[in-house]
Amino acid sequence: MNSRLTVTILPAVSLLTLFASTLTAPAQNLPTAAMANAAIAAPVHPVVTRRIVVSLEDRRLALVEDGVVTAVYPVAVGKASTPSPTGTFTIVDRVTNPTYYHHGRVVPAGAENPVGNRWMGLSIAGYGIHGTNDPRSVGRAASHGCIRLGRRDLEQLFAQVRDGDTVEIIGERDAETLALFGQPALPHNAAATLLAATNTPETAPAQTAPGPELTSPASR
C-alpha cells in the first residue's frame, strides 16, 4: 500500500508573519525595563505600631513604638475637680498653631495661647494632648482634663505621632506603668498638692467637638 505525505507550502510572507508574531507575543506579557526598575527601586515602609501611654499618678507620658519605649515626657494632668479621662482612645486630629476661643475670649497662636502651639485631639470629645502658656504646671495635676507638655517635648511628640495612633490614659498604677516608668515618682497623697482651679480652661480645635468645659476655635 502506498502512503502519501501531504506537505502544505505556505507563502513566504505568511511564514515571516508567523515567525514575527511568535517572537513578539510573549514580550507583551513581560514588564518593561522601566517598570522593572521602578519595582526594584520602590521603598518599602514598614508599618509601625505606635502607642502613647499616660500615667496620671506618675504624671508622665511614654511613646511606645513596636513595643519599645522611644521617649518619656513629664506632663500636667487633670486636677481633682476636672480629672483627666481614663481609658483607650485614638488621636483624631493634629493641629499646628491653633487659635483659642472660650466664652468670647479669642487668643491667636503665640506665647499667650493656653493650648500652646500644638494640639492632638483625642477620640473623646473636647480632650487632647497639647502645650501650655504656664510651663510651671507640667508635672502637676493642674489641667481641666487635658494632657499638657512643655513646648520642646510637645513639638517632638507631635512630629512622631499620626492620626489613628492609640492613646492609653491610666488612672491607677499597674504592671504596665511600673514597667514603663519605674517606681512612683509622686507620693500617693499627692492630692494634697493639687493646684487650685485657677487655670484658664482648655479648648479644642475646630473639628473637635466641645467637651464638658471646652469650646472650639474656628481656625488653626
Residue numbers annotated as active site: 130, 146
What's the rounded Cα separation, in Å, for the pair 64 and 130? 18
Chain-centroid distance of CA 123 in Å reads 12
**Do residues 141 and 77 lie in contact, with contact meaning Cβ atoms separated by under 8 Å?**
yes
Q: Which of 90, 69, 66 is nearest to 169 (CA)?
A: 90
Angle subtended at Cα 95 by Cα 89 and Cα 100, rounded to the nearest 5 degrees: 105
Would the CA dihedral through 156, 150, 138, 146 be positive or negative? negative
DSSP percent split of the chain into helix, strand, coil, nearest 5: 25, 25, 50
